Amino acid sequence: MYPAKLSPGDEVRIVAPATSFSHITAATRQNATAQLAALGLRVTYAEHAEERDSFNSSSVASRVADLHAAFADPNVKAILTAIGGFSSNQLLRALDYDLIRANPKILCGYSDITALASAIYAKTGLVTYSGPHFSTFGMLRGLEYTLEYFRKCLFEPGSFAVLPSPAWSDDPWYRDQENRIFVPNPGCRVINPGRAEGRLLGGNLCTLNLLQGTEYMPALAGSLLLLEDDYESKPQHFDRDLQSLIHQPGFEGVCGLVIGRFQNESEISPEKLAAIIHSKPELAHLPVVAGADFGHTTPSITFPIGGTGSLTALNGAVSFTITEH
C-alpha cells in the first residue's frame, strides 16, 4: 500500500518519536521551515513535540498521541520526523495499526526511525520512507542532492535511477554552517557482482536488529536490503550486527545488499568492509555494493521501505533503480 504523493500546498506534520523537537536550535528550525516552504509544503508541529524528559525524549503516551493525531488528521499529507535518537521502538506496542492502515500517508525519517518505519510497514503493509528528518532541511550547504531525491521519491511518480552525488560530507554541519568539508564522491563500489530485483527493506542496521524476534520485523524473503550505520559502529560491531541479520528466518531469500556510506569515525575502510562481506558464505551468491548515498553522512537519497528496486553490479559498474515507491 503506497501513500499518495505530495503536492504543493500540502501540510506536513513534524513529530518527535525519538529525540525531542526541543533539541533542535531555533536557527535550524527556521532554515528547515523555509526549505520545506520552498518545496510548497506547509509545516505544522505535533502538540507534544517540545516535551523533553531526562532521556532527551518524552513519554510514550505523548509520542503515540502525536503520531495518532497526525495519521488521523485528513489535512496532514505527510509526517516528517524531527530528528533521530534511541527510543522509537518504545512506541511499537502502543500504536493503533488499524488507524494507520485506514489513513495511509507518508512517514519519513532515518536512523532510529528505522524501527518505527519498518514496524509500520510490517504491521500494516503501508510503505514508509527512509529519508531526511525535519532537522536535515536546516542544512544551508550541500542539500541539493538530498532535495532532488526527496522530490523524486515523495513528489513524483515513476521509477528513477539513483546516481552518485558529486560530493559528500561527514562534518557536524549543525555546529558550523559556513565551514564545511566536502569530498569528491567516487560512487558505489562492487564487493560481489551480480543482479537483483526485490522489495526494498532496511535503514539503520543496529536499529533494524532491535526488531528481531518480534511481530514488528518485516519478512526478509525476496528483499533487496539497504543497510547503513553511524560512527558508533566499528568494524567488529557492523560484522556482528550483519551476522545477526543473516541468522534471521527468511534471510536465505534476500536477493542483494546495498550498503550506505560509513562515517569516518566508524573506521570501516573499503578493505575492512570487503573482508567482512567475504567472510560470510551466506553472502557469496549475492550482489553486494557499498558507498551508496544514504545513512549518517550527507547528502542522502530517500527510499521506500516496502517499495521495489533493482541492482546491477557488473564489471565494476553499479546501476541502482527504485522502481516502485
Between CA 298 and CA 295 the distance in angstroms is: 8
pLDDT for 266: 92
Report residues of the chain scoring pLDDT below 70.
none
> 161-324: which CATH number, 1.10.10.60, 3.40.50.880, 3.50.30.60, 3.50.30.30?
3.50.30.60
Stated pTM of the model:
0.96
Report percent pLDDT > 90 for the chain.
96
Give the H/E segment covering residue 116: helix 113-124
Q: Which of 61, 65, 63, 62 is nearest to 73 (CA)?
A: 65
Q: What is residue 144's DSSP assignment?
A: H
Residues 6 or more apart whose Cβ sits within 8 Å of residue 85: 18, 19, 56, 57, 111, 112
pLDDT at 56: 87
Q: What is the largest CA-CA distance in the chain?
A: 52
Q: What is the dihedral of CA 12, 100, 88, 133, to 10 degrees?
A: -20
pLDDT in tens, 95-122: 999 999 999 999 999 999 999 999 999 9
64-97: per-residue pLDDT in tens?
999 999 999 999 999 999 999 999 999 999 999 9
Give catalytic residues, as residue numbers.
111, 228, 296
Q: Decide: helix, strand or coil at residue 143.
A: coil
Give me the architecture of the 11-138 domain, per CATH.
Answer: 3-Layer(aba) Sandwich (3.40)
Would you list the domain boundaries of the chain?
A: 11-138, 161-324
Question: Please, which residues have CB within 8 angstroms of residue 3's CB and are 6 or more apart in sequence?
Answer: 78, 104, 105, 106, 126, 127
